[in-house]
Amino acid sequence: MNSGLNWAVFFQPVVDGEPLLWYQTLISGLYFTLALSIVAGIIAFVVGSLIGVFRTTSSKKLVFIGNAYVEIFRNIPLIVQFFLWYFVVPEFIPPLKEWSIRQDPTLVQFVASVVCLGLFTASRVAEQVKSGIQSLSRGQRAAGYALGLTEFQTYRHVLLPMAYRIIVPPLTSEAMNLIKNSSVALTIGLTELTFQTKEMGENTFRFIEVYIVATVIYVTVAMTVNRVMVYIEKKTSVPGYISGGK
C-alpha cells in the first residue's frame, strides 16, 4: 500500500470524463459553509438581541418568554434540532411541506439549516446581550428615564449601544462557533464543507490529505473571523470601562 501523500488527488475528476474536479467540490462546500454561517449569524444577532432585551425588561411576561426560549434551545442537542426543523416541522405546517416538495432539495436543506443554526445560536447570543445589559450601571437606565425616554428608547439609545461594545469578545467566540456548528448540517444532507470532505475521502480513500486540507480551511476561516472581531473590539472598546453595577 502506498503510504505517501498524494496531493494531486484534488485535481482529479470526480467522475472520469467529467470536468468537475475534487477541489471544486470542496470550494462548493466552503461556499455553503460561509453562506450558512453568515445568514444564520444575522438571524442569531437579531433574534438573540431581542430575546436578551426581553430577559432584562420590567415585564414579567417578556422575561418568561425570553427565559423559556433560551432554556428550550440551549437544552436540545443541536443535531436533534436539525432533524426537527428538516423532518418534523414541515409535517405540522402543510404550506411549508408543500413548498419543500416543490423546491430543490438543496434549497430546502439550506433554509432549514439557516433557521435551525440561527435560532440555536440566538439563544447563546441572548445570554451575552443579557449579561452585557446587566453589567451596566443602574444609573444609565435611570438617566434614560430621567431624560423622558421610554423603556424602548432607553434600550435603543442608552443601554444597547454600551452593551454591544462590552460583549464583542464573547460574540467573537459565538461567531467562531457558528463556523464549527455549520458542519452539523451534513446530517440533513446539506453539501457544506464537512459533507464534501467526507464524500471525497470515501470516494478517493485519501482521507489524510482530504482532512488535512479541510482542517486548514476551517482554521483559516475561523482565524479570519477572529481577527475581524478583534479589530471591531479595538474600535468599539469603552476606554477605562471594566465592570458596571456600581
Cβ–Cβ under 8 Å, residues 29 and 179: no
21 φ/ψ angles, rounded to the nearest 5 degrees: -105, 160
| Per-residue pLDDT, 233 | 86
Q: How far apart are CA 42 and CA 221, in angstroms?
A: 17
Residue 70 within a domain: yes
* CA angle, 176 then 180 then 186, to 5°: 150
Q: How far is CA 25 from the centre of its chain?
A: 23
Tally of structural domains, the chain = 1
- What is the value of pTM for the model shown? 0.90
| Per-residue pLDDT, 240 | 63
35 φ/ψ angles, rounded to the nearest 5 degrees: -60, -45
Cβ–Cβ under 8 Å, residues 128 and 236: no
Q: How far apart are CA 112 and CA 201, in angstroms?
A: 26
Residue 141 within a domain: yes
| Per-residue pLDDT, 4 | 81
| Per-residue pLDDT, 243 | 44
Cβ–Cβ under 8 Å, residues 194 and 214: yes
Q: How far apart are CA 45 and CA 39, in angstroms?
A: 10
Residue 227 within a domain: yes
Residue 10 within a domain: no
Residue 7 within a domain: no
The whole domain housing 34 covers 19-236
Residue 242 within a domain: no
CATH number of the domain within which 92 lies: 1.10.3720.10
Per-residue pLDDT of the chain (246 residues; tens, 9 = 90+): 445 888 999 999 999 888 999 999 999 999 999 999 999 999 999 999 999 999 999 899 999 999 999 999 999 999 999 999 999 999 999 999 999 999 999 999 999 999 999 999 999 999 999 999 998 888 888 888 888 888 889 999 899 999 999 999 899 999 999 999 999 999 999 999 999 999 999 999 999 999 999 999 999 999 999 999 999 888 887 776 654 443
**DSSP label at residue 103:** S
Residue 241 within a domain: no
Q: How far apart are CA 212 and CA 126, in angstroms?
A: 35
Residue 117 within a domain: yes
Q: Tell me the three cell numbers of residue 183.
A: 458542519
Q: Give the sign of the dihedral formed by CA 3, CA 7, CA 8, CA 9.
A: positive
**DSSP label at residue 105:** H
Query: 168-181 and 22-54 helices cross at what angle (nearest 10)?
Result: 140
122 φ/ψ angles, rounded to the nearest 5 degrees: -60, -35
